Amino acid sequence: MATAVRARPEPPPPLPLPSVPAHVAIIMDGNGRWASQRGRPRLYGHRAGTENIRRVIERFADYGVGYLTLFAFSTENWDRPRYEVRGLMALLSRFLKRETKHLHENGIRLLHFGDLSPLSPALQRQVHEAIELTSANDRMTLAIAFNYGGRAEIVEAVKRIVADGVPADQIDEESFSSRLLTNGLPDPDLIIRTAGEMRLSNFLLWQGAYAEFCFLPVYWPDFDIEHIDEALPVYSQRTRRFGGLVPHEAAPTQGNGHANGRRNGRQDWRPSGQTARTGRNGHSA
């Protein structure tokens, strides 16, 4: 007798929030510990950690989040056992085969930042083909940080400035940021880390200077819609000052007229003529 497959219930509509982050970045942590709790090998946890990604992407898109970055493999992860590294490479290939068409059909643009050169030629082609296929999509940008390290990124940006012959008096935040791997993306507004750890682990060190942080005890394979619905309301209640004061905290005559390159405390990263993205809940990001 065939066993009926229980369908996943339809998720509730997004919560009504006063604001949502334009860019959310996630450090997906805890796959190995999740597997160990179940007496299974670490790769079992890594495989389980790919099963929720589609739901996570769609939930953030429904809220109107315009950019989502997932930290999938760090430059330090090469120090792990060879079998685990090979398995992680295979999982990236499997993810691209399984999800690229779905991402494209749902208006998601895929980007990668990190160093692809150590990957096999076949896997590099998969990444480039997925990026090319989805390049015109504008519902959300999904950036996969794979073989990425924040310190290495900063060092390479400095090398580019030197190679470009930029005079010292012309080096500023904008010229430096334009040489980072994330050039063209807004800085993250919210960084989420799972598994209870409270550190950046070499992730978006420059870009995360003014990010809000949310550390959740749940291991990544168990991270799902309800945790997004928990994190975004917390973000929406925070007051972001960017080193200054919000209007109701400052007297009308205060202020030094110095904009620091920001508009209303944050940069507007939408291309010219592009309107705000709106999620199912009507929020603009």
- Measured CA to CA, the distance from residue 31 to residue 125 in angstroms comes to 27
Active site residue 77: yes
Give the burial class of 223: count Cβ atoms within 10 A of its Cβ; 0-12 exposed, 13-18 middle, 19 or more buried: buried
CA distance 119 to 80: 16
Out of 29, 62, 187, 189, pick the active-site residue: 29
What is the DSSP code string of 171-216?
--HHHHHTTSTTTTSPPPSEEEE-TT--S-SSSSTTGGGG-EEEE-
Decide: 276 and 284 in contact? Cβ < 8 Å: yes
49: left (phi over 0), alpha (psi -120 to 50) or beta: alpha
Torsion (CA) 32, 37, 41, 42 in degrees, nearest 10: 0
Catalytic one among 62, 77, 115, 183?
77
Active site residues: 29, 77
